[in-house]
Structures are given as structure tokens and as C-alpha cells.
């Protein structure tokens, strides 16, 4: 879970999204990078915590037990 979230944050959100924005709006890649990097530094740990607590909640356990038998 942690590794997949970090790969998404670093590669997809930071690199690819920044590249696509720079191509779409014809602005230099390096112009978008600081804002995108700072957003990922803040958002990624929060997303990891939300996923962790969501998957470890009692409500999720009840749903999982109902679905799996």
C-alpha cells in the first residue's frame, strides 16, 4: 500500500501530470514543478493515513466479513 501510493505520488502526480500540464499550456516543465512537488509533499502523507485508517476501521472489517463469508 505504501509503496504503491509513493509510486503514484512521485511518478504519476509529480512527473507525468507536470509534463502534461507543461505540454498543454506551453509553459516550461520546471515552472510547474515546485508547486506540484510541494502539493505532493503535503498530500501524500495525508492520503496514506486516510487509506491506513480506512482499511483498519471496524466498519471496513464488517463489510469485508459480509462479502467474504
CB-CB contact of 53 with 26 (8 Å): no
> Residue 14 pLDDT > 80, yes or no?
yes
pLDDT of residue 69: 77
pTM of the model: 0.76
pLDDT of residue 1: 75
CB-CB contact of 44 with 5 (8 Å): yes
pLDDT of residue 2: 83
| pLDDT tens profile 19-66 | 999 999 999 999 999 999 999 999 999 999 999 999 999 999 999 999
pLDDT of residue 25: 95
Amino acid at each position: 500500500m505504501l509503496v504503491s501510493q509513493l509510486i503514484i505520488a512521485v511518478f504519476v502526480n509529480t512527473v507525468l501530470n507536470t509534463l502534461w500540464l507543461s505540454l498543454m499550456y506551453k509553459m516550461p516543465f520546471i515552472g510547474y514543478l515546485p508547486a506540484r512537488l510541494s502539493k505532493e509533499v503535503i498530500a501524500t502523507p495525508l492520503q496514506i493515513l486516510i487509506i491506513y485508517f480506512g482499511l483498519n476501521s471496524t466498519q471496513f472489517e464488517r463489510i469485508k466479513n459480509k462479502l467474504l463469508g
